[in-house]
Chain A
Amino acid sequence: MTTTSAPTRKRKTMGMNRRPGFLTYGILIALLIGGAYPLWWSYVVGASPTSVLSQDWPPLLPGGQFWKNVAQVFDTIPFWQALLNSVIVSGVITFSVVTFSTLAGFAFAKLRFRGSNALMVFVVATMAIPTQLGIIPLFILMRQFGWTGTVGAIIIPTLVTAFGVFFMRQYLVDVIPDELIDAARVDGASTIGTFWHVGVPAARPAMAILALFTFMMAWTDFLWPMIVSPQNPTLQVALSQLQSARYVDFSVVLAGAVLATLPLLVLFVVAGKQLISGIMAGAVKG
């Protein structure tokens, strides 16, 4: 994380400036095919009757019944309800994580208070703690409150992440000069005013990256939503139910997998560059 501070690119006349040869592009094309082919194959089979799988040669081009298979997906699982649940769950978690991380990150980066160092050490230490393993008491509590089967129960355990606080703190500590905070104070701005007029504008790029990754994490989560709310599923849980439903063809399952991947593919096309710069800026898994 510390190594990725803005790379100064000095590409002069030598070595690294050379355009790489065919071998490099050959490798890259092979990687592209390897990354895209399983998806393409799912679409090919998802748009065909299952019988294509018993042909002599594996199919290369999609058949014409993608929408027929999709219709069967809709018959088998509550697709739209699940999509809506996923949007709500991921949206609320993202909003909550970004808000509380920015608040705490700002305080840790730019405000002086007793015990701040100890508390920050605590945050860093908890980043490595697998909180996912707390599912048993969480389930006991949710059932006691009668919340199982609700989106609220899916949301609650991920309302904050230690990583978010750490990420915002690391970003803000370099981005806002201390003099600016002092100047605001001398001018009589309250702490909340300083946060709102200095902290938030400066934090915006990092907030966007954190939002993107938090959304991805919430959207792809499977274990906890499956345990606490199988009857009112998120998209991932509904998709898994498609596989375990009886009398469902391979091709229908794969049509469902393709369909469920579409929202993230759209996100990828729209925000792919931000995703890459986020990963490269040291945004990590989760």
Chain B
Amino acid sequence: MTRTLGPDAPTSPPATRPDRAAGLTFRNKLSHLDVKYSPYLYVAPFFVLFALVGLFPLVYTFVVSLNNWNLLSGPGEWVGFGNFVKEFNDELFWNSLFNTMSIFLLSSIPQLIAATFIAAVLDQNLRARTFWRMSVLIPYVVTPVAVALIFSNMFSQEGGLVNHLLTLIGMDPIAWKLDTLPSHLAIAGMVNWRWTGYNALILLAAMQAVPRDLYESAELDGAGSTRRFFSITLPSIRPTMIFVILTATIGGLQIFTEPRLYDAASVTAGGAHRQFQTTVLYLWEMAFQRQNFGRAAAIAWILFVIIVLFGVVNFLISRRIASSESRVISKRAKRKLDRQTTDMR
């Protein structure tokens, strides 16, 4: 490994060159400065850039939200929390929040269950392991825009593949674009199609970290594969599941591309009756079509607070679970130990 230090690293001890003592103290001083202060230079680019393009815009969003601010004419008069009040009294805002939550739940819950199931299927002694892992990841390389175009066509009401198949098996076609629940299902379907395999691989990694001896001893004790899955696998991967849920939440509450491109024929963004207009889509419409930057900024801040709250609650719950779990496990282990010692007697 010293090879990597390069040939220019001095190797001879300084004591052999007493004539350069004065230079050395200067160099020592330099090196002291280097050790003490240069770490800041390494982290500075990140913090400076992040402050400029990440934090400052968020703070400035708040400033914009306190003003009447038009896209074209710029800042108007100060209105305090007027924009927030308007949003809380606007039916369209609540509609967008409802749509966001509905699509989020329809995509995250089935996705988590399916991903866990797929991970368990992959967590076996498979032939051609890499091939199967890659195959569940295919949808991930299709970009959200392409996914939206493809699914928008597949769920189209006239001549779409899904309705075509439904009529072939004798069912009535469904108004996938016009009705609220079907459109939410289709949009959630896009998210699920693209992300389930990806999350399955994350969960698979967690499953593989479970010590195999645990399974073996459980099998010796007569636990079937279902029992082993629920009693060993699921509890062991819970931290990873919480992590997956958290990232799915942050992404899911900001869903935009899929509903934006789901129905090209609709003049209103998010469906003719805004039946699948999510909050970010509503924000975009407010800013760039209704040109009201002040209210759009207020929407951004409300959504920001909601996402952070979700994150905090998630964090607290997961910590709760983790601590109570370790207590349960230690209790169980103690009981088992007691039993074993009594058995031995």
Interface residues of A (CB under 8 A from B): 1-5, 7-12, 14-20, 24, 27-28, 31-32, 34-36, 38-39, 41-42, 45, 53-54, 57-58, 100-101, 103-104, 106-108, 111-113, 116, 119, 123, 126, 128-140, 156-160, 162, 165, 180, 183-185, 187-193, 195, 197-198, 201, 219-220, 222-223, 227, 236, 239-240, 242-244, 250, 253-254, 256-257, 260-261, 264-265, 267-268, 272-273, 275-276, 279-282, 284-286
A134, A190, A285: residue with the most chain B Cβ atoms closer than 10 Å: A134
Instruction: Tell me the residues in window 299-315 of chain B with beta carbons closer than 8 Å to chain A beta carbons.
Output: 300-301, 303-304, 307-308, 311
Q: How far is the CB of A229 from chain B (nearest CB, A)?
A: 13
Known A10-B213, A137-B57; contact A113-B40, beta-carbon cutoff 8 A: yes
Residue pair A38, B5 in contact (C-beta under 8 Å): no
Residue pair A35, B125 in contact (C-beta under 8 Å): no
Residue pair A159, B264 in contact (C-beta under 8 Å): no
Residue pair B31, A190 in contact (C-beta under 8 Å): yes
Q: How far is the CB of A52 from chain B (nearest CB, A)?
A: 9
Interface residues of B (CB under 8 A from A): 1-2, 4-6, 8-11, 31, 34-40, 42-43, 45-47, 49-50, 53-58, 60-61, 63-64, 118, 121-122, 124-127, 130, 132-147, 149-154, 156, 159-161, 164-165, 168, 193, 197-198, 201-202, 204-206, 208-209, 211-213, 215-216, 219, 236-237, 239-240, 243, 246-247, 250-251, 253-254, 256-257, 260-261, 264, 280, 284, 287-288, 293, 296-297, 300-301, 303-304, 307-308, 311
- For A3, the chain B residues whose CB sits under 8 A away are 205-206, 209, 236-237, 239-240
Residue pair A136, B54 in contact (C-beta under 8 Å): no
Residue pair B250, A128 in contact (C-beta under 8 Å): yes
- For A58, the chain B residues whose CB sits under 8 A away are 161, 164-165
Known A11-B125, A24-B121, A264-B142; contact A107-B39, beta-carbon cutoff 8 A: yes
- For B250, the chain A residues whose CB sits under 8 A away are 128, 130
6 A-B pairs within 8 Å (CB atoms) are namely A32-B132, A35-B193, A100-B46, A104-B42, A130-B254, A222-B260
- For A190, the chain B residues whose CB sits under 8 A away are 31, 34
What separation, in Å, do the CA atoms of A272 and B42 have in the docked complex? 32
What separation, in Å, do the CA atoms of A201 and B160 have in the docked complex? 52
What separation, in Å, do the CA atoms of A5 and B31 have in the docked complex? 36
- For B202, the chain A residues whose CB sits under 8 A away are 279-280, 282, 284
Residue pair A160, B45 in contact (C-beta under 8 Å): yes
Residue pair B239, A156 in contact (C-beta under 8 Å): no
What separation, in Å, do the CA atoms of A242 and B118 have in the docked complex? 35
Q: How far is the CB of A266 from chain B (nearest CB, A)?
A: 9
* Interface SS majority for chain A: helix
What separation, in Å, do the CA atoms of A239 and B143 have in the docked complex? 11
Residue pair B138, A191 in contact (C-beta under 8 Å): no
Q: How far is the CB of B235 from chain A (nearest CB, A)?
A: 12
Q: How far is the CB of A158 from chain B (nearest CB, A)?
A: 8
Given contact pairs A16-B216, A133-B301, enumerate 16 new A-B contacts (beta carbons under 8 Å): A5-B209, A12-B212, A28-B132, A39-B142, A39-B150, A58-B164, A119-B43, A128-B246, A134-B53, A136-B61, A136-B64, A160-B50, A185-B35, A188-B31, A261-B142, A268-B141
What separation, in Å, do the CA atoms of A108 and B8 have in the docked complex? 26
State the 10 A-B residue pairs at the shortest beta-carbon distance, nearest first.
A134-B57, A107-B42, A280-B205, A137-B60, A113-B39, A7-B208, A53-B159, A111-B39, A264-B141, A257-B146
Residue pair A133, B300 in contact (C-beta under 8 Å): yes
- For A256, the chain B residues whose CB sits under 8 A away are 149
Residue pair A159, B53 in contact (C-beta under 8 Å): yes
Which residue in chain B gives the minimum CB-CB distance to A54?
A: B159
Q: How far is the CB of B45 from chain A (nearest CB, A)?
A: 5
Known A119-B47, A198-B4; contact A282-B205, beta-carbon cutoff 8 A: yes
- For B31, the chain A residues whose CB sits under 8 A away are 188, 190
A12, A140, A192: residue with the most chain B Cβ atoms closer than 10 Å: A140
Q: How far is the CB of A273 from chain B (nearest CB, A)?
A: 6
Residue pair A240, B261 in contact (C-beta under 8 Å): yes
Q: Which one, B58, B127, B261, contacts A133 given CB within 8 A?
A: B58
Q: Which one, A2, A138, A159, A276, contacts B133 given CB within 8 A?
A: A276
Known A276-B137, A279-B202, A280-B204; contact A19-B127, beta-carbon cutoff 8 A: yes
- For A139, the chain B residues whose CB sits under 8 A away are 287
Which residue in chain B gives the minimum CB-CB distance to A10?
A: B212
Which residue in chain B gives the minimum CB-CB distance to A260?
A: B146
What separation, in Å, do the CA atoms of A42 and B154 have in the docked complex? 9
Residue pair B141, A261 in contact (C-beta under 8 Å): yes
Residue pair A4, B304 in contact (C-beta under 8 Å): no
Q: How far is the CB of B198 from chain A (nearest CB, A)?
A: 6
Residue pair A189, B9 in contact (C-beta under 8 Å): yes
- For B57, the chain A residues whose CB sits under 8 A away are 131, 134-138, 157
- For A132, the chain B residues whose CB sits under 8 A away are 254
What separation, in Å, do the CA atoms of A284 and B249 have in the docked complex? 13
Residue pair B124, A20 in contact (C-beta under 8 Å): yes
Q: How far is the CB of A157 from chain B (nearest CB, A)?
A: 5
Residue pair B159, A36 in contact (C-beta under 8 Å): no
What separation, in Å, do the CA atoms of A282 and B244 have in the docked complex? 10
Residue pair A113, B36 in contact (C-beta under 8 Å): yes
Residue pair B49, A45 in contact (C-beta under 8 Å): no
Q: How far is the CB of B270 from chain A (nearest CB, A)?
A: 14
Residue pair B297, A201 in contact (C-beta under 8 Å): no
- For A219, the chain B residues whose CB sits under 8 A away are 143
